[in-house]
Structure formats: structure tokens, C-alpha cells
Amino acid sequence: MLRLSEETWIVASKQQVSCGLSGEAAILNLRNGVYYGLDPVGARIWNLIQEPRTFAQVRDIVLREYEVEAPRLESDMHELFAQLAAHQLIEFST
């Protein structure tokens, strides 16, 4: 599983286009022409990383907006970011 530190910067790749759909998100990877979908919480996180943010910044915003425990959210975020990275939809920096 992908492990990111709290200081890891995350941003959506420039090689994609996305739009909101009834609270969810549709993302088109411009490299391979494949569409991906995100549920409402995933869409919110996707929205947040349209500009570079650290893992901790994204986590803290989502914790304020949703009723979720931090360990569960962090685990879910690692899984989401791993999937997005596998499809080249996000970029990381330290």
C-alpha cells in the first residue's frame, strides 16, 4: 500500500480533465482516454487537490467536513491516492 507522510504534497495531474456530476466526479485521463468516477467524498478530495495540498491539509479539511475517525480517513485516503497514482491522475512531491 502507498504510504505518504503528512508533509507529502499531492496535486491532480495536468494530463486529465474532470467535472462534477451530482456530487460525484468524472475524470478523463488524457494519456489513455479512460474515464474514472469518484463517489461524493472522493470527489471532495479530488476537488481539494486541484491545487497542491499536503496529505495533512487534505485530511484536516475532510475531518472538519465529515463525521469520520482520523485513522479510518487516513487509511481511505491512502487507498484512494494509491488508485489515483496507479492511473497517473495525481502527482506527489515532498
> What's the pLDDT tens digit per position in 16-60?
999 998 999 999 999 999 999 999 999 999 999 999 999 999 999
1 within some domain: no
46 within some domain: yes
Structural domains counted in the chain: 1
Confidence of residue 85 (pLDDT cuts 50, 70, 90): very high
Q: Residue 54: name the closest of 17, 4, 1, 2 by CA.
A: 4
43 within some domain: yes
Domain that holds residue 59: 9-88
73 within some domain: yes
3 within some domain: no
71 within some domain: yes
